[in-house]
């Protein structure tokens, strides 16, 4: 967790107004999160925090690239990342999430750890299906050949019998 220590922002004693922070995110950041599917990447995070009397308003700008496995061939591919997100942290009596963008923390808190929010924004920016942008041409040709061999297998005749049975019932 030492890798995430720099993402803890103390706000008690800060004057009201905008405060700027800059972080370089790499392998150590992703290693700190259990079950992270991202191993490599280089992301620059520019974070501004607008300190108000009763709230903190964060603006996250994340730009860089990630190295992730292709869902089709499992070879690593580079994925560009450009994220712009906002987070509002209000002071209240207890921890509570009002919406995805509005969090309430106890007034007794003195700092906020933004590493989890940054990780969440990165993960949400990834597409559901992660494949090479060039399609099959970017994938490992041997893996594509194996996939094509296995996709042309004969259909089990029992499935056809079940389909006929279903038609007769309807």
* pTM assigned to the model: 0.79
Cα–Cα distance, 18 to 121 (Å, whole number)? 21
Within a domain: 161: no
Within a domain: 125: yes
Within a domain: 147: no
Q: Which H helix or E strand runs over 125?
A: helix 115-125
Q: What pLDDT is attached to residue 70?
A: 86
Within a domain: 121: yes
Q: What pLDDT is attached to residue 40?
A: 87
Query: What totals of helices (H) and strands (E) does the chain contain, helices first?
Result: 4, 8
Residue 23 φ then ψ, to 5°? -135, 145
Within a domain: 168: no
Contact of 48 with 86, CB cutoff 8 Å? no
Within a domain: 11: yes
Within a domain: 153: no
Q: What pLDDT is attached to residue 87?
A: 96
Number of domains in the chain: 1
Q: What pLDDT is attached to residue 145?
A: 74
SS3 107: coil
Within a domain: 29: yes
Residue-level pLDDT, tens digit, the chain, 170 residues: 566 889 999 988 889 999 999 999 999 998 888 888 887 899 999 999 999 988 999 999 999 999 988 888 888 888 999 999 999 999 988 888 888 899 999 988 989 999 999 999 999 999 888 888 776 667 777 777 777 777 656 667 777 778 888 888 87
Cα–Cα distance, 69 to 81 (Å, whole number)? 15
Q: Residue 99 sits in which domain range?
A: 2-132
């Amino acid at each position: 967790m030492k890798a995430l220590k720099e993402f803890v922002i103390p706000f008690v004693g800060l004057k009201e107004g905008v405060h700027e922070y800059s972080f370089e995110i790499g392998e150590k950041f992703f290693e700190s999160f259990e079950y992270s599917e991202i191993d490599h990447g280089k992301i620059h995070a520019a974070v501004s925090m607008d300190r108000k009397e009763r709230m903190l308003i964060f603006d996250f700008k994340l730009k860089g690239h990630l190295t992730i496995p292709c869902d089709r061939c499992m070879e690593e591919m580079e994925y560009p990342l450009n994220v712009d997100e906002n987070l509002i942290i209000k002071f209240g009596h207890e921890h509570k999430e009002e919406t995805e963008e509005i969090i309430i923390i106890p007034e007794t808190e003195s700092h906020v750890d933004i590493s989890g929010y940054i990780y969440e924004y990165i993960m949400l920016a990834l597409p559901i299906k992660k494949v090479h942008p060039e399609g099959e041409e970017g994938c490992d040709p041997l893996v594509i050949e194996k996939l094509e061999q296995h996709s042309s297998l004969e259909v089990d005749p029992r499935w056809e019998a079940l389909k006929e049975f279903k038609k007769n019932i309807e």
